[in-house]
Amino acid sequence: MRVESGLARRVTAEGLGTAFLLAVVVGSGIMGERLATGNTAIALLANAIATGAGLIALILAFSGVSGAHFNPLVTLSMAWQKQMPWREVPVYIAAQLAGAFAGVAAAHLMFGEPVFFASEHVRSGMAQCWSEFVASFGLLAVIIGSSRTKPDAVPFAVAAYITAAYWFTASTSFANPAVTLARAASNTFAGIRPADTPGFIIAQLLGAAAATLLFGWLYPVVQYQEKPTTGCGT
């Protein structure tokens, strides 16, 4: 019973945290585009700073409950590293997906946009997919590397990485399948055309797998323990 109750709390935290993450990404994109009067660099700077700052706050707020994955790549990699049981993976991912779409809707309501509307923002081609591979490889590298040696710094490491990755990858670094799917439902600054999502997600999975393999060799493996507070944000 205690375990089920624990899972209910963790799933709530994953869903709510992912919802806030998407609200930050989409909401700050809308605000940036509206205010920047055509200067996309300023809009992206605001978007990157808001997302990085939001990640610090959200990981610190939720990691004590669920590990603050907010990302199927992280959940899959944690299970592969035996840091959480595989049977919880589908529940985590379902919560992340539901939360992501709820967060997009929440942002749209704040800015007077339709609840959902398909993006027309084209993001295709090999350079974009290579960007997502690099972005996701780097994200998992940062999460695994920092959580093995400096667990207290993980929220700052992840936030700093994403702030940088908005700028150094040509795709502005989605690096998260739940984020990718939900952003397809937002025809705003942060959107992505639904037809372009499969390529992004495949590249993300490959990048995360490569990082998990390489960092499994670089750092000694830690065994899974029963307490739920392991994961990226702990």
Distance, in Å, from the CA atom of 175 to the CA atom of 181, rounded to the nearest integer, reads: 11
Least distance (Å) between residue 31 CB and a second copy: 5
Least distance (Å) between residue 115 CB and a second copy: 12
State yes or no: residue 48 binds a second copy (CB under 8 A): yes
Least distance (Å) between residue 208 CB and a second copy: 14
Q: CB under 8 A: which stretch of 46-54, 75-83, 92-100, 194-202 binds a second copy?
A: 46-54
State yes or no: residue 157 binds a second copy (CB under 8 A): yes
Q: CB under 8 A: which stretch of 11-19, 69-77, 91-99, 193-201 binds a second copy?
A: 11-19
Decide whether 93 or 190 has the Cβ nearer to a second copy: 190
State yes or no: residue 91 binds a second copy (CB under 8 A): no
Touching a second copy, residues 162-201 (CB under 8 A): 163-164, 166-171
Least distance (Å) between residue 64 CB and a second copy: 3
Cβ 99 vs Cβ 180: under 8 Å? no
State yes or no: residue 116 binds a second copy (CB under 8 A): no
Kindly tell me which residue out of 14, 62, 77, 232 binds a second copy, with binding defined by CB under 8 A. 62
Kindly tell me which residue out of 50, 76, 100, 182 binds a second copy, with binding defined by CB under 8 A. 50
Touching a second copy, residues 205-234 (CB under 8 A): 214, 217-219
Cβ 54 vs Cβ 20: under 8 Å? yes
State yes or no: residue 155 binds a second copy (CB under 8 A): yes
Kindly tell me which residue out of 148, 205, 209, 216 binds a second copy, with binding defined by CB under 8 A. 148
Least distance (Å) between residue 50 CB and a second copy: 4
Q: What one-character-per-residue DSSP string does the chain give?
A: -HHHHHHHHHHHHHHHHHHHHHHHHHHHHHHHHHHSTT-HHHHHHHHHHHHHHHHHHHHHHHHHHH----SHHHHHHHHHTTSS-GGGHHHHHHHHHHHHHHHHHHHHHHTT--S-B-------SHHHHHHHHHHHHHHHHHHHHHHHH-GGGHHHHHHHHHHHHHHHSTT-----HHHHHHHTTB-STT---GGGHHHHHHHHHHHHHHHHHHHHHHSPPPPP-SSTT-STT-
